[in-house]
Amino acid sequence: MARKKITVVGAGNVGASVVAYASAQELGDVALVDILEGVPQGKGLDMFQATPVLGVDTRVTGANEYDATAGSDIIIITAGIPRKPGMSRSDLLNTNVKIVGEVAQKAAKLSPDSIMIIISNPLDAMVYTAWKKSGFPPKRIMGMAGVLDTARFRTFIADEIQISVEDVHALVLGGHGDTMVPLTRYCFVGGIPVSHFIPGPRLEEIVQRTRDGGAEIVGLLKTGSAFSAPAASAVQMAKSILLDKKRLLPVAAHLDGEYGEKGIFVGVPAILGAGGVEKVIEVELIAEEKAAFAKSVAAVRELMAEVDKLL
């Protein structure tokens, strides 16, 4: 079987971490692209030199042009500027629409059969941008948000109960950001509802910390945003696709009638396999969850309208 190939665009904090996690798991050869001269080459070479120690045969190359990316199975886009304290959502959107639109178009041209995973923020709007500019069928394009949001939620819950993170399963719906909808009813610890372990008011506090998870880290770092957990999350998605594992993960996927919505990329549980987003799973929502999801969808649609003006 031919070795798989992964392109990572953006060799910053998130991109370099994606390369490290993907290489360490021997998911395939990696091409790292960035506009900064020498940076993708240097970070790529550094990672390549780690492979004997890790005991993996992963070829990592860095480049400023896209030739090195040709024929990739997966394209992971992390290019863009990260959110800085005090930066408005519109400022971020204006800059990143141009960057993500351009890189999605260039990368898609050289790897026309690939599957694209977007990490750049504002996430849902960037997935929409990449979809428009790549011309890819919607099943082959998705955004990384839900895996990260649930990872944060799972971490806090496991820490609260003092139990293994492996035994905590959770589900988050909706857009990435303030309007995300953590579904506490679907959160289980070793098969037991989380309410058995954590009383409602405390769980609400954990939900709020999850919602503010990105901002908490921006506040601490001051000069950048989270990168380890986002990168690990995207690599988990890539692994499910590359190995056709068919994992059920929350991702920003295209809806075509599911959850009563059409033509929007937003966080929902989906099966990821060799075909990309192979199936969106519709779970039953109670009135309050439906209202929160509708609010989240409305916020994403507002951002999509801004993207449409800029493209």
Chain residues that interact with ligand APR, rule: CB under 6 A: 9-15, 33-36, 78-83, 96, 99, 102-103, 119-121, 224-225, 227, 230
All residues at 6 or more sequence positions from 228 whose CB lies less than 8 Å from its CB, including other chains: 17
- The residue from 169, 176, 196, 254 that is catalytic is 176
Q: What is the largest CA-CA distance in the chain?
A: 55
- Closest distance between ligand APR and the C-beta of residue 30, in Å? 15
The tokens for 284 are 């039953």
Rounded Cα–Cα distance for residues 264 and 310 (Å) = 17
| Beta carbon of residue 80, minimum distance to ligand APR (angstroms, whole number) | 4
CB closer to ligand APR, 13 vs 58: 13
* Closest residue to bound ligand APR by CB: 12
Compute the least distance from the CB of residue 224 to ligand APR, in Å. 5
Cα 107 from Cα 134, distance rounded (Å): 8
Nearer to ligand APR, 126 or 173 (CB): 126
Cβ 88 to ligand APR, closest distance in Å? 14
Helices (runs of H) and strands (runs of E) counted in the chain: 9, 14
Nearest to 95 by CA among 118, 126, 65: 126
**Quick one: 19 or 187, whose CB is closer to ligand APR?**
19
Nearer to ligand APR, 107 or 280 (CB): 107
Q: Is 176 a catalytic residue?
A: yes
Pairing of β 5-9 and β 29-33: parallel
In angstroms, the CA 10 to CA 2 distance is 25
Active site residues: 176
